[in-house]
Amino acid sequence: MSVASLRMDESSPRTDPPVESTDTGTEPDSDVAPVPATAVQTKRPWWIPAGILAAIAVIGFLVATQIYLVSAVSSTQEELDATRSELEDRYDEIARLESQVAAVGSVVDVLAAAQTTTTQPSSTVEAPPAEAPAGYLPRFEAGQPDAALGMRLGTVAGPDAYSDSELTIDPTDGIKRVWMVWAHWCPYCQEELPALSVAYPGLQAQYPDIEIATVTTSIDPSRGNPLDTYLEEQQFPFPVVVDGDFAVAGQMGVSAFPFWIVTDGDGTVLFRSAGYLDDDQLLNLMSSLSEYST
């Protein structure tokens, strides 16, 4: 090869073989700066904070409601306890009143039976004279509502049958009493009094809170069985007030013999009846009166 050829070859531009590129991607725009990975932030949805606030509000409402309910239940329980206590007191009062009513009912039943049963006859007596004390118990009329119920019997006074002293009995002295008013000439009284004398010690022992007192009245020697002789023979163990002028009988509203009156410790008349009472009826009467309380 000549020198000229070598010079021509040296002066000619050199072409390198193309180099294959391993980058299959697209080149980034040279005007946009690359963003570091740490600078990329994720944007949260708007409803997440609102939901949290709503949940907090609901929880607060539930807590407040629970506190209110607990307080309301506690207050209601206290009111229920107070109401229950008051009702128990009322029940006790009702039970006491029912017991009293039952006791009075027993007295009424016993005496009503004595009044209406044909086996308890009585001797009638004339109305008291005009000079009988006024303002006491109204006259008893069998079969009619007794106007004396609930009234208070006044002091009973008169000569003691077995002494010369004055016997005074105050029905308001706190002692319950069963009174029997009798006449010496009454055949039913003559049958009742000896039986009462026999039963009296046992009744007094069994019912020490009750006193049995009697009044003898309508004294009339012309009708037989003189009073003084009769008293001497019988020697009654219970108190006997002698009512010579029918004043005490008038005070009690006596209309027949034997005549019965039941009084409470304050002198209140619980019942009156005219007629004979047998041993069982008298025992039931004493038992009912003993259980009765005002």
Number of C-beta neighbours around residue 99 at 10 A: 13
Task: Tell me which residue has tokens 């009111």.
Answer: 79
Question: Three-state DSSP class for 132?
Answer: coil
pLDDT at 275: 92
- Give the Cα separation of 169 and 150 in Å (integer): 19
pLDDT at 34: 53
Residues in the chain: 294
> How do residues 140-175 score in pLDDT, each as one tens digit?
998 899 999 999 999 999 999 999 799 999 999 999
Q: Give the closest residue to 247 by CA, choosing from 218, 214, 275, 213.
A: 218
Residue pair 216/249 in contact (Cβ under 8 Å)? The answer is no
**Residues ≥6 apart with Cβ < 8 Å to 250:** 128, 129, 132, 133, 136
- The reported pTM is 0.59
Residue, of 115 and 268, whose pLDDT is higher: 268
Domain annotation for the chain: domains and CATH numbers: 99-291 (3.40.30.10)
- Pairing of the two strands 269-274 and 259-263: antiparallel
**Is the bond into 258 cis (omega within 30 degrees of 0)?**
yes
* Residue 143, both tokens: 């079969």
> Residue 52: is its pLDDT beyond 90?
no
